[in-house]
Amino acid sequence: MLDIKLVRTQPEQVVAGLAKRGFQFPMETFTKLDEERRRKLVEVEQLKNKRNTVSKEVGRIKAAGGDASAIIQEMQQVGEAIQQLDNDIRQLEDELNRLMLEIPNIPHESVPVGKDETKNKLIRSWGEPRRFDFEPKSHDEIGVGLGIMDFERAAKISGARFVVMKHWGAKLERALVNFMLDVHTSEHGYTEVFPPFLVNRASMTGTGQLPKFEEDMFKVTPGDYYMVPTAEVPVTNLHRDEILSADQLPIYYAAYTACFRAEAGSAGRDTKGIIRQHQFNKVELVKFCKPEESYMEHEKLVNDACKILEKLKLPYRVMLLCTGDQGFSAAKCYDVEVWLPSFNTYREISSCSNFEDFQARRANIRYRPAPGAKPEFVHTLNGSGLAVGRTVAAILENYQNEDGSVTVPEVLREYIGVDVIR
């Protein structure tokens, strides 16, 4: 959520910032609601002050054995006026809140301005795409051929956009989760967290998935639960409505969860293979830090994600997303893209965002800069470290051999127990 005071005091800055990402801020509606709310607030608070003062007087008169019926009658009308105003204010606040919850974040000044992904900026690339002396297969062809992926039975037991991983495939998936968590906890200083996969509405609102993206989420009945679309939601909300102390920061969490996405708007896209599934595994990195450190932490976060690909010796590149391509809550976002031979291009495998105080304001996550000082909002960041299914796909494709077997990356051999999957 944007700072309502910023909108009030620097309206042209807010409008210009959001215009860069193609969003038009409804300034007229905002101003009308905000001004009316404040006007009524002043009015009702004056009335409440009167009521408080007079009610104490009533107590005093009654204790002294006097008759207070005249002022009590007068106060009845004041009470009615207060109730009416309180109702009006509540309604105005609801409307204002609904409006503000649907306003995306303002891009950071270092983000290139652009309408779509064609304006994303290449930051760096690592590794050389392998040259094959045979026609490389796609990961799903390899997986089905090895008997480690079963799409037909997945369709039978669940439906489209699901896969059953079997034998070495299942083991590879599990090995990658362990490998990623081990690297981030023992080499990058993250604390491992294993959160619930179902969360409440307040958590989904806190990180920005709701109210705007309701149709992308799986809602569970009975109960008011949502299945997590990413571990970002439960992990960021760990500190919702908390005031952290400055010496706790920065906080680094690494969490594995399955992720569940309805993929409502992506019919027909990536229907083959395991690139886009309703359920996938992901190790997520989440940081809470002081505002002045968030951009430094952002760079470190991207490097932590990249480190996994380097250890796996998978070629990748880092892209800085332009204003039109970054997510709703992000101020700045890098995508890490891994080389996939069958696509003959790089595909997103990690998305690393700095949300500044956008999520912290929604989720009310603050810290005290110094003992006794006023609390301020923290900055939150997160990034995939990495998407496990896509990593499986990248390994199968980049490490495939002509006979259909797949060489296991060196760092995974102790996790899996074989050198080659055949």
Partner RNA sequence: GGAGGAGUGUCCGAGUGGUUUAAGGAGGCGGUCUUGAAAACCGUUGUACCGCAAGGUACCGGGGGUUCGAAUCCCUCCUCCUCCGCCA
From the candidates 36, 310, 348, 376, give the one annotated as an active-site residue.
348
317 is catalytic: no
For RNA, the closer of residues 48 and 307 by Cβ is 48
Compute the distance between CA of residue 306 and CA of residue 296 in angstroms, rounded to an integer. 16
| Nearest-approach distance from CB 258 to RNA, in angstroms | 16
390 is catalytic: yes
What's the half-sphere exposure (Cβ side, CA atoms, 13 Å) at 86? 10
| Nearest-approach distance from CB 90 to RNA, in angstroms | 6
Beta strand residue intervals within 261-315, DSSP E: 279-289
Cα separation values, 76 from 79, 83, 167, 184, 289, Å: 5, 11, 75, 64, 51
366 is catalytic: no
The closest of 214, 233, 265, 196 to 355, measured between CA atoms, is 233
From the candidates 21, 161, 366, 390, give the one annotated as an active-site residue.
390
| Nearest-approach distance from CB 35 to RNA, in angstroms | 9
For RNA, the closer of residues 269 and 374 by Cβ is 374
From the candidates 351, 361, 362, 384, give the one annotated as an active-site residue.
351
| Residue 129: partners with Cβ closer than 8 Å, 6 or more residues away | 315, 339, 341
**Regarding beta strands 225-227 and 219-220, do their DSSP bridges make them parallel or antiparallel, or are they unpaired?**
antiparallel
| Nearest-approach distance from CB 192 to RNA, in angstroms | 20
| Nearest-approach distance from CB 261 to RNA, in angstroms | 25
For RNA, the closer of residues 59 and 189 by Cβ is 59
For RNA, the closer of residues 54 and 220 by Cβ is 54
348 is catalytic: yes
Compute the distance between CA of residue 205 and CA of residue 197 in angstroms, rounded to an integer. 16
What's the half-sphere exposure (Cβ side, CA atoms, 13 Å) at 209? 27
**Regarding beta strands 242-245 and 365-368, do their DSSP bridges make them parallel or antiparallel, or are they unpaired?**
parallel
For RNA, the closer of residues 41 and 246 by Cβ is 41
Please provide residue 111's backbone torsions phi and psi, each rounded to the nearest 5 degrees: -85, 130
Structure tokens at 349: 């495998």
Dihedral (C-alpha) 25, 31, 34, 40: value to the nearest 10 degrees? -160
From the candidates 261, 361, 362, 366, give the one annotated as an active-site residue.
261
Burial of 403 (0-12, 13-18, 19+ CB in 10 A): exposed
DSSP letter for 248, please: G
Compute the distance between CA of residue 42 and CA of residue 35 in angstroms, rounded to an integer. 11
232 is catalytic: no
For RNA, the closer of residues 5 and 269 by Cβ is 5
| Nearest-approach distance from CB 93 to RNA, in angstroms | 9
From the candidates 51, 174, 201, 276, give the one annotated as an active-site residue.
276
Q: At 30, which amino acid appears?
A: F
For RNA, the closer of residues 6 and 122 by Cβ is 6
Residues that bind RNA (CB under 7 A): 4-5, 38, 41-42, 45-46, 48-49, 51-56, 58-60, 62-63, 72, 75-76, 78-79, 83, 90, 243, 366, 371-372, 374-375
Q: Active-site positions? A: 261, 276, 348, 351, 390
